[in-house]
Every structure is written in C-alpha cells, then in structure tokens.
C-alpha cells in the first residue's frame, strides 16, 4: 500500500486519501494517521461489542432464515433490538454501516432501502449455536474488560483497581467459583473462554506430538473444550478436564456437543491450589491459567504438574506468549495489562518463552519447545526427562 502524504502548503492539491474512495487510503499508516487511528481504536471495538451483546448477528440470521435470505432494513433492525427507530434518527444506520466498513456485516443497496445481513464469517463466528462461536468472549470484553480498562491509570499507579472499578465488575474469583450471587456466571465465563480459545485448541490437538502419550489432564479446563479437541483429533487419547465443581454442567454439555461418548473425555472436580497433588497423566495442560498468577503461584502450579507427570511426560502452557524481544505480540502485552486489571493483588502477568524456559529449568524439567498455534497464541512445552 502506498502512503498518502499531504502535498506542500499552497499546492492546491488535496492529500491522496481525501481524493480517493479506496479504503486503503482511509486506513493510511503514515503519520499522524496511525497515531490518530490508535487513539480511536476503542470506537469500532466498542460498537462491535455492543452489537454482539444486543444480539444483532443472531437477529439477522433468524430474519434471513425466515425470509429466504433477505437482509433487514435499518428500521427493522432497530425494532428487533429495542433501539430508537424513528426515521430521523441516524444512530442505528451509523452502527450498521460501521460494521459494514469493519467487514462484520454485508449490505445491499444504499440509504433507507439498504438491507443488512451477516457475512459468512459472521454466521460462523458471531451467531450462537455455531461450533466456532466466539461471541461469548466479545460479551466478556464488553461487560468486563472494557470497563476495567477505564481504570488502567489507577492500576498502573497503585497495582490494583479502585473501588469504583470493583463496583462495576464482579470479582473474577467469585465469578470462577459461582460465589457472587449469579449462578449462571461461571457457565457464561466458560462459554467466553471456549470462544476465545477454540481455534487454539484445535491447532494444538493437531500440532503437538501425542504419539507416545495416552492420557491428558487439563488443569482449569473450564467447559472442557481443550480435552474435547484433543480427543476428537487423537482417538487414542483419554482426557480429563479438571476444574471447580460449578463447571461440571458446562463440561458435560460440551462433551455432548462434540459427540464424545464412551468416557474418552470426563470432568473431574479440582481446586488446583488445594494441597492435594494433581492426578497423574502423560500430558498436563493449562490454557490461560499460568498467566493469571504472580511468579510464586506460577512456579507452584508448574511444580505440581512436574510431580504428577511420568518420565517423558509433558507440561504444556497455552497462552498469548509474548515474543522474547517484547516487540511483536501486542496481544500478549495487552493481555498482561488485562491480568493486571483482573488480578492486580496477585502480581499477575503474561510472559515470554524465555521466562518459561527459566521457570521450567528451576522446577526440574529438561527439554522445552514453543509451538505457534495461530494468531497471538502459542504453547510452551516442558518435558520431564526420562
């Protein structure tokens, strides 16, 4: 993409971006546009989050199914979502067209006659009921992560979020355990984690060498999706998803959704910080678990995994592992700030593979390797000698 640069003052020429209707011109990476775009990135993100929470993509799918593939007009969308629908109000049209510009929606026609529908990717990833649905995470980001980031300055100054932030967002540990008075919160959070990590789990299930292993234990397994992905891709593997008792129902439903009967995937209630040792397994995984904690608890979890593994066994941490130079994986760095917001008093942080290698050596593991799993996600693997 060529850079659009303003011409010298008095030339009588407009910048190329202002002359062209080419989308690339509007997304110019030249300065100062890049900095301005970064400062406004919250806007499209928040609009997408709110649209997902409102159920826009689900409403469009239902309409298309009933109408034989027809899209919805702005007023129809507004009425279906309980939004302002009078003809002089442009907010809903602006929201829909922003999502068209972000390639989240498709549009036929212009103006009042425009009809909006889901893109194929929107059908796949943003409509509940799809195997690849990620909307649960989008809603967590809408209701939890975004409000917490409003108080990032406080977190950076003090290491913890102020009372005002805690009043907006339920405590994460209460959400995990179902202790916050909302019985459905753990299952909703589990659904969000499934959406966030499904592609990572599928990639791990095919890329990791399971040929010399027979059993897998997923610590903090949430809805059991990692175990299901491995069992589906590796028919010889027997998998256990271990998490707090409130997740049993979500895990049972996930196993049924994958059609994995015969006990190849089962749920086991486990508090991974309890004094009891981990159950034995050939492979022990932790997905988006190790990054939740400070160094002391990271090492504790790795030592418990080491003790439960046989010689030749593998411990695998799946996270948005930051590149060693700390320059490229911006989502891993973002996630580390997110952990500061969620677990400030724990001293939580995301980490590099070099960090992981140091901890693995300290715990007693031998060989380590890094598996890139797509996007910002990776698996850091440590093997027990023998």
By annotation, the residues acting in catalysis are: 291
Give one DSSP letter per residue of 229-263, joined into a string: HHHHH-TT-EEEEEE-GGGHHHHHHHHHHHT--TT
13: left (phi over 0), alpha (psi -120 to 50) or beta: beta
> Which regions of the chain does DSSP assign to beta strands (E)?
105-108, 115-118, 215-219, 238-243, 265-269, 283-287, 314-319, 368-372, 378-383
Supply the DSSP symbol for 143: I
- Which whole-number Å values give the CA distances from 73 to 51, 83, 107, 270, in the listed order? 16, 13, 10, 50
The gap from C-alpha 243 to its chain's centroid, in whole angstroms, comes to 19
Residue burial 78-103, b: 16+ Cβ < 10 Å; e: rest = bebeebeeeeeeeebbebbbbbeeee
Residue 221 near residue 230, CB atoms below 8 Å: no
Tokens 């969000």 label which residue?
192
Cα–Cα nearest to 335, from 161, 198, 145:
145
Supply the DSSP symbol for 144: I
d(CA 308, CA 276): 11
d(CA 73, CA 70): 10
Up-side HSE of residue 213: CA atoms within 13 Å toward CB?
27
**Does residue 32 have a cis bond before it (omega within 30 degrees)?**
yes
d(CA 348, CA 336): 8
């Amino acid at each position: 993409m060529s850079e659009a640069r303003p011409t010298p003052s008095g030339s009588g020429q407009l910048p190329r971006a202002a002359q062209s209707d080419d989308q690339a011109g509007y997304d110019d990476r030249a300065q100062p546009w890049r900095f301005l775009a970064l400062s406004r990135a919250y806007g499209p993100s928040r609009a997408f989050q709110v649209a997902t929470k409102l159920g826009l993509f689900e409403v469009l799918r239902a309409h298309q199914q009933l109408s034989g593939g027809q899209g919805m007009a702005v007023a129809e969308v507004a009425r279906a979502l309980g939004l302002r629908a009078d003809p002089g109000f442009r907010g809903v049209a602006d929201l829909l067209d922003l999502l068209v510009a972000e390639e989240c929606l498709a549009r036929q026609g212009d103006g009042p006659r425009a009809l909006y529908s889901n893109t194929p990717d929107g059908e796949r990833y943003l409509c509940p009921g799809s195997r690849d649905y990620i909307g649960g995470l989008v809603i967590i980001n809408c209701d939890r992560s975004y409000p917490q980031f409003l108080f990032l300055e406080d977190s950076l100054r003090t290491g913890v979020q102020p009372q005002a932030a805690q009043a907006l967002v339920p405590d994460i540990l209460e959400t995990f355990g179902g202790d916050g008075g909302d019985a459905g919160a753990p299952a909703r959070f589990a659904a969000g984690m499934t959406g966030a990590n499904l592609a990572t789990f599928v990639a791990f299930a095919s890329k990791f060498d399971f040929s010399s292993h027979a059993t897998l234990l997923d610590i903090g397994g949430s809805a059991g999706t990692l175990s299901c992905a491995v069992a589906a891709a590796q028919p010889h593997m027997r998998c256990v998803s271990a998490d707090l008792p409130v997740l049993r129902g979500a895990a049972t439903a996930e196993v049924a959704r994958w059609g994995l009967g015969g006990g190849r995937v089962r749920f086991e209630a486990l508090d991974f910080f309890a004094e009891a040792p981990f159950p034995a397994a050939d492979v022990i995984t932790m997905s988006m678990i190790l990054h939740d904690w400070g160094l002391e608890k990271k090492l504790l979890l790795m030592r418990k995994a080491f003790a439960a593994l046989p010689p030749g066994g593998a411990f695998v941490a799946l996270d948005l592992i930051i590149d060693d130079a700390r320059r490229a994986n911006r989502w891993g760095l973002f996630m580390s700030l997110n952990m500061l917001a969620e677990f400030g008093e724990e001293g939580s942080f995301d980490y590099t593979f070099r960090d992981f290698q140091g901890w693995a050596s300290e715990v007693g593991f031998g060989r380590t390797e890094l598996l890139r799993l797509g996007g910002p996600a990776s698996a850091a693997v440590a093997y027990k000698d023998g």
